Amino acid sequence: MCRWAAYKGEPLYLEELVSSPAHSLIEQSHCATRAKTATNGDGFGIAWYGDRPEPGRYRDVLPAWSDCNLRSLARQIRSPLFLAHVRAATTGATRRDNCHPFVHGHWSFMHNGQIAGFDRIRRQMEAMLSDELFESRTGTTDSELLFLLALEFGLDADPFGAMEKAIFAVENLSREKSGEALVRFTAAFSDGRALYAVRYATDHKPPTLYAAPMGGKSGYCLVSEPLNDEADTWVEIPDGSAVKVTAEGMQALLFQPEVLSEAA
Amino acid sequence: MCRWAAYKGEPLYLEELVSSPAHSLIEQSHCATRAKTATNGDGFGIAWYGDRPEPGRYRDVLPAWSDCNLRSLARQIRSPLFLAHVRAATTGATRRDNCHPFVHGHWSFMHNGQIAGFDRIRRQMEAMLSDELFESRTGTTDSELLFLLALEFGLDADPFGAMEKAIFAVENLSREKSGEALVRFTAAFSDGRALYAVRYATDHKPPTLYAAPMGGKSGYCLVSEPLNDEADTWVEIPDGSAVKVTAEGMQALLFQPEVLSEAA
Amino acid sequence: MCRWAAYKGEPLYLEELVSSPAHSLIEQSHCATRAKTATNGDGFGIAWYGDRPEPGRYRDVLPAWSDCNLRSLARQIRSPLFLAHVRAATTGATRRDNCHPFVHGHWSFMHNGQIAGFDRIRRQMEAMLSDELFESRTGTTDSELLFLLALEFGLDADPFGAMEKAIFAVENLSREKSGEALVRFTAAFSDGRALYAVRYATDHKPPTLYAAPMGGKSGYCLVSEPLNDEADTWVEIPDGSAVKVTAEGMQALLFQPEVLSEAA
Amino acid sequence: MCRWAAYKGEPLYLEELVSSPAHSLIEQSHCATRAKTATNGDGFGIAWYGDRPEPGRYRDVLPAWSDCNLRSLARQIRSPLFLAHVRAATTGATRRDNCHPFVHGHWSFMHNGQIAGFDRIRRQMEAMLSDELFESRTGTTDSELLFLLALEFGLDADPFGAMEKAIFAVENLSREKSGEALVRFTAAFSDGRALYAVRYATDHKPPTLYAAPMGGKSGYCLVSEPLNDEADTWVEIPDGSAVKVTAEGMQALLFQPEVLSEAA
């Protein structure tokens, strides 16, 4: 179980999520309270959108709590749209290429969750990728592969639809291989314009996801767990949901990969 | 609060303490049960005596649980005398030079504990060192400085006496500077022949220290917390004690820096 | 011998110095052409001024050429005033705390050169520092210590005067200790308003320093060696000089620590 | 172009190759004299056989010249059979998983050279692997993949035969894909009993390989470039050769993947 936080709204210093709040992401890297594993010390990463079409990124394998570079960057960089992640490794060794957020072109992606039995279906998942996406894979995590599958299935044209297809494909592969499937998936991703997030699990037990207004008009923050104790501020996003944050505010939708099955 | 384990006896693979036991040192780096802080993810180190007069050493800033080099070394290296440490930083940044064990010539040293108000007396402590010992200081921790002070006070000639003098000097400095003193000190050190350990605190609340026979005749293991649940095996070393492990087994002595005060 | 580049002028992406030019700083980390050592692979660092009074900083111990974080940051961050450095270690181990630029409050500092016989006078140099500056020392290099000495001697009130005093003090200490002195010093530093640089050596053989207009009206770039082959663009700053870049352009002055001696 | 050194004979401290000689491997990491690239600063690794069937391994991404762990280990560890490597990255990012030697079960492998157009055939090469070998791939280099292919083709039963088949398969894939093929391959590998090395290139321009007796009766050292200036001691292994070092000394054979083509 990892922890993450994402923001879209008026430009905000990254430290407003990463290091300043009582229960900031760095604090959660040491003492997460709503996670299976309290320690998220297997690396971290930030991706933010600035003047360029592609996001900037900084990630490293140290625990977030001891990285002075991260503190300095979070204090200097201000962005209208950013993602931040601290990792507790499940699949994939502790190394930079396995740290979230993953970036491909103007897309960024980060994830908390896992694919049960990933080792048994990794190869078939990779086989679904085009040569170009296959070659862009640099790590070994299930998270990066889910992101590349979503790109393969049309993330640009239909972000949530492509993500549903990716998860549906993984569940199908699992069932074919072992008779059962389990994907738990609480993720955030962005193309530099909107911020997308999904909370879904095959067994309806997805990792937590909360939202709160932040940073002035129509700005929103999405997080694995609340950044402070003001319970009234935070709304829990329900299982099977997708949310989209744009200049018009936050919009919630159903996220149902299983419907693809019925349609098929 | 850090965690450590040390051994002297028949040659043993380091993994017997570092990674194999149910509650191995690597396991403790993730989930210490008797420590103030459950996570000891701010680096680790091992020092072992082999064919050379000086010990070999490997240390790094990653959490011990994610370092595959450590697992491989602990599985390959067999030694009759070694020290292993996982760090939870109190004083001094996360970097290799601040990871225990510290080594000077044939001596090695590691520590769990702290000097209250260290920042206020660091400079005077450093001023007590000879040029040669001062120049050998490469980190910024109170632990390394206590070790160098003990070397200054004659660690070679009288290990426990020198350590008492070092702690007495620090307590005195603290009292001069602020009217009060607090040193908590549970440490192991070795010259390559015997294994020494001390459990002491000015306020009689030192970090824990346990001992158990291990590795055949007259071998002993000294640890911050037991490596398994066999409660009968582990003896708690009391506050104000020093133990020395040699080929003749383990010997316990009083450790009383305060007596120096009365003598003065 | 290290390599560095600094800029003051209209806001510029750091990559304009760090990675884009034919002979960029990253390129110089692999193949410096005018340095004693062609490889500068012992870490790197950047410091830039943005919205905060203190500079942002990113530094790490990897060779600059292989760090993808550096490339991403240099491409995203735009600043009117920044310093960048690649290191070839002479004094002090390869670790983050020994990587330039050094930062203290709103000041940043980086250096190419060395103090001959530094080990013999390090302790006396440190003794000249106030407690506050002494405690802020985290590394072991001669460069960081020169910077702290200059702060001690009034860098805020008179930047070049304080730097002259610092170098004069070091030369004096060396002469007292060993009968001779040699400081080679090509450095850049900033308080967030102006960019300062010095080229000086006791033996009149200082590391190189070049300047060129860059980034529009009154902007200047200062570098260890030119970033491209346009020889006409680059002016070599002579030995015994100080330059100051402000909104009014670049101003050159004499830098003569030895005059302090005559005055004394 | 990387640099490597390997040894089989009476137990020898690793430092005899890694750090002690005038032109030791660490020295070569800074200043290789017979390589295309003088700097091999993109990580390093050692693998040695001791009491266990599988080798011990230590590798990291820092330049070898600045790693104090490497110096300590090379000084302490003594082995009758070991491999050591310093890397100049061509394919694959600078990270531990891309550092040689690669290890699989009791086999170790390291390589200097490259596959031209590797990106175009990587996927087909991976497709040749069994699930078990595919899953054991953790990095992204052509070297690791050649090693896994050789394991697939029966490295255990016929080491040189399997390596010929692996290279033949790669050359064939290249020709199918692009009409031309170029593999340059100077590699050492071991199963813990014998030391194997190959020098081969499709275009007959393989990286250099030298051998010299070392460490008493029947011991041999194999290196990318000689460890000292005693020219008489070092024999250059010719292009298209394989050598095997056992307790009986060194044996040279032809290495001709192209013969497989004729046989086919």
Gap between the Cα atoms of B177 and B120, Å rounded: 8
User: Could you tell me the pLDDT band of residue B63, with boundaries at 50, 70 and 90?
Assistant: confident
In chain B, what percentage of residues exceed pLDDT 90? 74
Gap between the Cα atoms of B86 and B224, Å rounded: 11
Cβ <8 Å between A52 and C78: no
Which pair of structure tokens corresponds to residue D144? Answer: 């690791």
Gap between the Cα atoms of C230 and C221, Å rounded: 14
Residue A221, chain B, CB below 8 Å: the answer is: no
Please tell me the predicted confidence (pLDDT) of residue A35: 61
- Which residues in chain A are closer than 8 Å to D93, comparing Cβ atoms? 96-97, 138
Gap between the Cα atoms of C70 and C59, Å rounded: 9
Q: How far is D66 from chain C (nearest CA, A)?
A: 6
Please tell me the predicted confidence (pLDDT) of residue A37: 63
Cβ <8 Å between A93 and B39: no
- Which residues in chain B are closer than 8 Å to A62, comparing Cβ atoms? 61-62, 94
Give the closest residue to B196 by CA, choosing from B2, B1, B6.
Answer: B6
Cβ <8 Å between A60 and C69: yes
Please tell me the predicted confidence (pLDDT) of residue C230: 86
Q: How far is C210 from chain B (nearest CA, A)?
A: 35
- Which residues in chain D are closer than 8 Å to A99, comparing Cβ atoms? none
Which pair of structure tokens corresponds to residue A5? Answer: 């936080």
Which stretches of chain A score pLDDT less than 70?
1, 33-38, 90-91, 261-264
Express each pLDDT in D49-69 by its tens digit.
999 999 999 999 888 888 999
- Which residues in chain B are closer than 8 Å to A41, comparing Cβ atoms? 39, 41, 63, 66
Q: How far is D80 from chain A (nearest CA, A)?
A: 31
Which pair of structure tokens corresponds to residue D52? Answer: 């266990």
Q: How far is B42 from chain D (nearest CA, A)?
A: 17
- Number of Cβ within 10 Å of residue A10's Cβ equals 13
- Which residues in chain A are closer than 8 Å to D131, comparing Cβ atoms? 123
pLDDT for C109 beyond 60: yes
Cβ <8 Å between B68 and A41: no
Please tell me the predicted confidence (pLDDT) of residue A259: 78
User: Could you tell me the pLDDT band of residue C59, with boundaries at 50, 70 and 90?
Assistant: very high
- Following CA atoms D199, D204, D206, D212 in sequence, which dihedral angle do they give, to the nearest 10 degrees? 50
Residues 6+ apart with CB under 8 A from D233: D212, D213, D226
Cβ <8 Å between B41 and A41: yes
**C72 → chain A, closest CA residue:** A56
Residue from the list C66, C68, C89 with its beta carbon closest to the beta carbon of D66: C89
Residue D63, chain C, CB below 8 Å: the answer is: yes
For strands A183-190 and A195-201, give the pairing: antiparallel
Query: For D64, which DSSP code?
Result: G
Please tell me the predicted confidence (pLDDT) of residue C87: 86
Residue B72, chain A, CB below 8 Å: the answer is: no
Which pair of structure tokens corresponds to residue C254? Answer: 């004499």
Which pair of structure tokens corresponds to residue A57? Answer: 């990124």
Q: How far is B60 from chain D (nearest CA, A)?
A: 9
Please tell me the predicted confidence (pLDDT) of residue A91: 66
Q: How far is B55 from chain D (nearest CA, A)?
A: 8
Q: Which amino acid would we find at residue A128? A: M
Give the closest residue to C180 by CA, choosing from C115, C124, C263.
Answer: C115
Express each pLDDT in D65-102 by its tens digit.
889 999 999 999 999 999 999 988 766 777 888 999 99
Strands of the sheet containing B249-254, edge to edge, are B102-104, B107-115, B183-190, B195-201, B241-246, B249-254
- What integer is the mean pLDDT of B73-98? 88
Residue C58, chain A, CB below 8 Å: the answer is: yes
- Which residues in chain C are closer than 8 Å to A75, comparing Cβ atoms? 52, 56
Among A142-156, B11-25, B152-166, which is the least confidently predicted range?
A: B11-25
Q: How far apart are the first and last CA of chain C?
A: 32
Residue from the list B51, B56, B60 with its beta carbon closest to the beta carbon of D72: B56
Domain spanning C3-263 has what CATH number?
3.60.20.10
pLDDT for D36 beyond 70: no
Token pair 């011998």 in the structure block, residue: C1
Cβ <8 Å between D56 and B78: no
Residues 81-120 of C with CB under 8 A from A: 96
pLDDT for C177 beyond 70: yes
Size of interface A-B (CB pairs under 8 A): 34
In Å, what is the CA distance from C57 to each residue of A68, C142, C150, D246?
A: 9, 20, 20, 54
Residue from the list D30, D62, D94 with its beta carbon closest to the beta carbon of C61: D62
Average pLDDT, chain C: 92
Among B177-191, D89-103, D109-123, D174-188, which is the least confidently predicted range?
A: D89-103
What is the DSSP annotation of C89-136? -SSS-SSGGGSSPEEETTEEEEEEEEETTHHHHHHHHHHTS-HHHHHH
Cβ <8 Å between D94 and C66: yes
Q: Which of A135-144, B23-32, C72-81 reaches the highest mean pLDDT?
A: C72-81
Residue D76, chain A, CB below 8 Å: the answer is: no
For strands A241-246 and A44-48, give the pairing: unpaired
User: Could you tell me the pLDDT band of residue C116, with boundaries at 50, 70 and 90?
Assistant: very high
* Cβ pair B148, B122 in contact under 8 A: no
Average pLDDT, chain B: 92
Q: Which amino acid would we find at residue D123? A: R
In Å, what is the CA distance from D2 to each residue of D25, D28, D31, D225, D238?
A: 10, 9, 12, 11, 19
Please tell me the predicted confidence (pLDDT) of residue C193: 97
Phi, psi (degrees; rounded to nearest 5) at C164: -60, -45
Please tell me the predicted confidence (pLDDT) of residue B141: 92
Residues 6+ apart with CB under 8 A from B179: none
Cα torsion angle, D154, D155, D159, D162, sign: positive
A partners (3+ CB pairs within 8 A) are B, C, D
User: Could you tell me the pLDDT band of residue B261, with boundaries at 50, 70 and 90?
Assistant: low
- Give the up-direction half-sphere exposure of residue B224: CA atoms within 13 A in the CB hemisphere: 36
Report the 3 state secondary structure along A174-227. HHHHHCCCCEEEEEEEECCCCEEEEEEECCCCCCCCEEEECCCCCCEEEECCCC
Please tell me the predicted confidence (pLDDT) of residue B103: 98
User: Could you tell me the pLDDT band of residue C214, with boundaries at 50, 70 and 90?
Assistant: very high
Average pLDDT, chain D: 92
Q: Residue C169, Cα to own-chain centre: how many angstroms?
A: 19
- What integer is the mean pLDDT of C122-134? 95
Residue from the list D30, D39, D62 with its beta carbon closest to the beta carbon of C30: D39
pLDDT for C36 beyond 90: no
Token pair 């300590």 in the structure block, residue: D72
Query: For A99, which DSSP code?
Result: S
Residue B38, chain A, CB below 8 Å: the answer is: yes
* Cβ pair B214, B12 in contact under 8 A: yes
Please tell me the predicted confidence (pLDDT) of residue A40: 80
Phi, psi (degrees; rounded to nearest 5) at D211: -130, 150
Gap between the Cα atoms of A229 and A218, Å rounded: 22
Express each pLDDT in D146-179 by its tens digit.
999 999 999 999 999 999 999 999 999 999 999 9
Q: How far is B110 from chain D (nearest CA, A)?
A: 17
Which pair of structure tokens corresponds to residue C62? Answer: 């990897």
- Number of Cβ within 10 Å of residue D216's Cβ equals 10
What is the DSSP annotation of C130-142? -HHHHHH--S--H
- What integer is the mean pLDDT of D36-47? 82
Overall size of chain A counted in residues: 264
Residue A71, chain B, CB below 8 Å: the answer is: no
Residue D33, chain B, CB below 8 Å: the answer is: no
B partners (3+ CB pairs within 8 A) are A, C, D
Residue B218, chain A, CB below 8 Å: the answer is: no
Does ipTM top 0.85? yes
User: Could you tell me the pLDDT band of residue C264, with boundaries at 50, 70 and 90?
Assistant: low
Give the closest residue to C167 by CA, choosing from C135, C200, C139, C196.
Answer: C200
pLDDT for C156 beyond 70: yes
Residue D232, chain B, CB below 8 Å: the answer is: no
- DSSP 3-state of D264: coil
Residues 6+ apart with CB under 8 A from C21: C27, C227, C228
* Cβ pair B201, B248 in contact under 8 A: no
Please tell me the predicted confidence (pLDDT) of residue A1: 67
- Give the up-direction half-sphere exposure of residue A73: CA atoms within 13 A in the CB hemisphere: 28
Express each pLDDT in A79-97 by its tens digit.
999 999 998 876 677 788 8
